[in-house]
């Protein structure tokens, strides 16, 4: 046993926060800043006083490739506002087969749950690694109940997201493989900083729910026509306008709805 003199000064033990099975120091949490939150378009559209009222509940987090934010039938404990990450919303069949029903990046939000006990109707998986802000669902509900710009903005975005899901459903039935691939690539370009994407043909086939051989043939056709180049998991779009024309309605309807959202959020 060690005797400590009564007049000795004992340094306090740093307070630690529990996050699942991990423990991190309270001081290690990144500071949420106004400029940082502007990287997500929904947060950026909020009046400054409304946004800053959320700061104490927002947390900047890393979203690595393949991270599952929530699964089908599971609880949605957090709401995510991506900044540089891209997240796929997936419908999973009983046999494990998956189909992408929507994609969300810096323009949107994932995991909005406004009712107690609400369960996820799909799975959400990070497809392009990056960052985002998250907050506990209970805090978003509390902010939503206060009315004002936040609920108006979320409802507008929900309409745009529904349009994307509906168009993907229609396109999945009536569009060619080439059109589906064009729409899929354009969805990523809209949420990426450049015209190059790191993605494998196997991943695309899983997201679109088609055979890999079909994607190989479609990608080869687009490359032969000078719309893209494809090498070892890297696709570069050479002619975006031609890609949009090729995708046609498969991409245009959801894009139009999102463009309308951008105009609407400016009025919030």
pLDDT in tens, 62-115: 999 999 999 999 999 999 999 999 999 998 887 777 889 999 999 999 999 888
Residue 261 tokens read as 């959202």
What pLDDT does 98 receive?
Answer: 83
CB 132 within 8 A of CB 124: no
CB 210 within 8 A of CB 177: yes
What is the average per-residue pLDDT within 47-70? Answer: 96
Q: With CA atoms as reference, report the closest residue to 103 among 120, 84, 125.
A: 125
What phi and psi, each to the nearest 5 degrees, are found at residue 209?
70, 35
Helices (H) and strands (E) in the chain, counts: 10, 12
User: Structure pTM?
Assistant: 0.83
Say if strands 78-82 and 98-104 run parallel, antiparallel, or are unpaired: unpaired
What pLDDT does 50 receive?
Answer: 94
Distance CA 114, CA 138 (A): 8
What is the average per-residue pLDDT within 219-242? Answer: 94
């Amino acid at each position: 046993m060690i005797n400590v003199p009564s007049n000795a000064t004992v340094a306090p033990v740093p307070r630690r926060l529990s996050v699942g099975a991990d423990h991190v120091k309270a001081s290690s949490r990144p500071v949420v800043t106004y400029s940082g939150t502007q990287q997500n378009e929904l947060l950026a559209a909020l009046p400054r006083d409304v946004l800053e009222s959320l700061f104490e509940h927002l947390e900047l987090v890393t979203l690595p490739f393949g991270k599952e934010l929530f699964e089908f039938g599971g609880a949605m404990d957090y709401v995510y506002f991506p900044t540089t990450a891209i997240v796929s919303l997936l419908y999973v069949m009983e046999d494990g087969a998956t189909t992408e029903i929507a994609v969300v990046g810096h323009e949107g939000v994932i995991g909005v749950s406004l009712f107690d006990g609400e369960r996820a109707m799909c799975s959400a998986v990070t497809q392009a690694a990056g960052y985002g802000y998250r907050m506990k669902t209970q805090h978003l509900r509390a902010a939503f109940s206060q009315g004002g710009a936040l609920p108006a903005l979320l409802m507008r975005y929900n309409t745009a997201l529904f349009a994307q899901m509906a168009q993907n459903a229609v396109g999945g039935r009536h569009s060619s493989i080439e059109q589906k691939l064009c729409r899929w690539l354009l969805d990523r370009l809209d949420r990426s900083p450049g015209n190059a994407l790191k993605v494998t043909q196997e991943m695309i086939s899983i997201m679109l729910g088609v055979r890999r051989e079909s994607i190989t043939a479609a990608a080869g056709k687009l490359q032969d026509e000078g719309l893209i180049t494809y090498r070892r998991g890297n696709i570069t779009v050479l002619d975006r306008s031609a890609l949009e024309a090729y995708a046609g309605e498969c991409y245009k309807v959801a894009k139009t709805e999102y463009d309308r959202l951008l105009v609407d959020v400016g009025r919030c």
